[in-house]
Amino acid sequence: MKIAVYGASGFTGGLAAAELGRRGLSPVLVGRDAERLRKAAADAGVAGAEVRVAGLDDPRALAAAFDGCDAVLNAAGPFALWGEPVVRAAIAAGCHYLDTAGEQVYIRHVLDTAGPDAERAGVTVVPAMADDGGPGDLIAHLTARELTTVADLLVVDARRPGAASRGTARSMSAVFDAGPLEYVGGTWRPATGGGSWIAVPGEAEQVSLTPFALPGIVTVPRHVPAGRVRSGIRTEVAELFASLTPDVVDSVPEVLDQEARSTNRWLMLVEAVDDAGRRARGWATGPDAYGLTAVIAVEGARRLVAGGAPAGALTPAQAFDAADFLDALAPHGVTWQIA
């Protein structure tokens, strides 16, 4: 199985190349700079892996760089700036496509527009296969299944403040600036209402939440017929995102060392309420947000290539069996529960 990693010279792309190597899959490292890609291959423990150079401004070269690959895993963000040419080239090359995007405007654009071309090419496009968008969408699907109707569904990224890469800081600063969204009555609109409080598994005190547009805002309504879908993050984390001026972003380290990664636990929490006020709650959690993002994206790529997902542009829960996918992450320390 041959998987191209676009943006393989970056932090997340390098982790994805390493994960592919660990699984005995063949990574092809693709990006705009041969030297950085070769260094990334060596750092990822796949020094012999193929390196192909293609910038984003040449669609033919980009599609040629994906030629013969089964899937493209895109880790070059911010995706709102750089994502579209990679999606288009992957489809043109007849490859399945996934990415690690957390930017809701971009994710919505891909889900809204890439489907017809992907169907014609017989490939599946799944944006948002990272530690928030992947498990968040999957656990929302499993939680909503507990109710016969869903009046309101809240997706929460309940992780505590922790180290992030410069690429994440740059992307999340843009999401913060775009403002929070909510899904109401079949459409998206700026989120109304302010902060709230929520009980988080494993924590004695309620946690303060601030509305924030997580990927679930655009993915969950595509498979859960909910009246309203909202999302939020811890107020402490929202305050950090609000402080991300361009100078601050440039001062964030490009990569996290092993110690920072080991303390970087993620937790996606979903609460759903039906028309009669009955509640369901579910969560998925795991260690090492960046390492797990690589595992989630690679597992998704492996499943797409193995077959079973329909062609088109799909959310994680539309493309994969939610419980089976989360169970497959157990060896990496991921647990999940519906209460």
Ligand X SMILES: NC(=O)c1ccc[n+]([C@@H]2O[C@H](COP(=O)([O-])OP(=O)(O)OC[C@H]3O[C@@H](n4cnc5c(N)ncnc54)[C@H](OP(=O)(O)O)[C@@H]3O)[C@@H](O)[C@H]2O)c1
> Binding residue for ligand X (CB under 6 A) from 124, 143, 168, 210?
168
User: Rule CB under 6 A: which of 260-319 touch ligand X?
Assistant: 290, 293
Residue whose CB is less far from ligand X, 99 or 274? 99
Residue whose CB is less far from ligand X, 150 or 220? 220
Residue whose CB is less far from ligand X, 100 or 318? 100
Q: Which residue, among 53, 73, 74, 75, has the nearest Cα to 64 in the 3D structure?
A: 53
Residue whose CB is less far from ligand X, 147 or 231? 231
> Binding residue for ligand X (CB under 6 A) from 3, 4, 7, 230?
7
> Binding residue for ligand X (CB under 6 A) from 27, 102, 136, 232?
102
Residue whose CB is less far from ligand X, 165 or 318? 165
Residue whose CB is less far from ligand X, 13 or 147? 13
What residues form DSSP beta bridges with 279? 273
> Binding residue for ligand X (CB under 6 A) from 100, 143, 231, 285?
100
CB of 31 to ligand X, least distance (A): 5
CB of 326 to ligand X, least distance (A): 16
- Total residues contacting ligand X by CB under 6 A comes to 32
Residue whose CB is less far from ligand X, 255 or 311? 255
Q: Which residue, among 96, 33, 99, has the nearest Cα to 294 in the 3D structure?
A: 99
Residue 171 sits in the site that holds ligand X (CB under 6 A):
yes
> Binding residue for ligand X (CB under 6 A) from 69, 72, 130, 309?
130
Exposure string over 127-155, b if 16+ CB within 10 A, otherwise e = bbbbbbbbbbbbbbbbbbbbbeebebbbb
> Binding residue for ligand X (CB under 6 A) from 41, 56, 295, 319?
56
**Could you list the residues that contact ligand X (CB under 6 A)?**
7, 9-13, 31-33, 36, 55-56, 75-79, 82, 100, 102, 130-133, 165-168, 171, 254, 290, 293
